[in-house]
Structure 1
């Protein structure tokens, strides 16, 4: 089994060496010629517009949420509990604290 596998590998190496010496690359050889054109067109006509649409969707959703007032603060016993202080700042705010969205245990900051 290993003898057959080594023969196949040697044959593939010889074929690739012959192609590289003749100036034929994998992108232009045989039935795969022109494959880069497909990927180039997919990138320009599918991927870039898709990224643009995703950016537009995110921006419009942000604008929609920005116009709404924030929810009323209700102090629940099981939410925003601080058993020990955070090791940064004053110890009451999380690392990615946003004062408009994230309330402290006593309520929103003003």
Structure 2
């Protein structure tokens, strides 16, 4: 029984020493990986966001803000029952400039 106790203590001591060494190595690797992510954030992510913002701005400059011509297709804007808000004809996120009603854009006489 005493031999088993000595053996188990020796195994625990060696595993404790290994874990202490591994934690020291892991701490250095964590510091290096944090530094790598910080550099990547400033060198790749922020310029990428800037390029995307510039692209969106330039596309908005060239975008036409005119309403497309209304074509009353029978398979679009079907209202089988009323919406439970407002007058029952407009969707929840209705935009009067971009979303036509079944009979055309509202507020415009065409």
TM-score by length of 1: 0.69
What's the counterpart of residue 99 of structure 2? Answer: 102
Give the counterpart of 1:93 among 90, 93, 101.
90
Identify which of structures 1 and 2 has the higher relative contact order when contacts are C-alpha pairs closer than 8 Å and 6+ apart: 2
Unaligned 5+ segments in structure 2 are 1-10
- The C-alpha deviation readout for 1:57-109, integer Å capped at 9, x for no partner, is 223223322x3422110111111111101111111111111111110011012
Whole-Å separation in 2 of the counterparts to 1:41 and 1:101: 43
Greater share of residues in helix: 2
Give yes or no for contact 1:81–1:105 (8 Å, CA) kept in 2.
Answer: yes
1:72 to 1:34, Cα distance in 2 relative to 1, 3 A: same
TM-score by length of 2: 0.69
Whole-Å separation in 2 of the counterparts to 1:25 and 1:109: 68
Give yes or no for contact 1:28–1:34 (8 Å, CA) kept in 2.
Answer: yes
Aligned CA RMSD, in angstroms, stands at: 2.9
Give the counterpart of 2:54 among 43, 56, 62.
56
Larger radius of gyration: 2
Whole-Å separation in 1 of the counterparts to 2:27 and 2:52: 32
Unaligned 5+ segments in structure 1 are 1-6
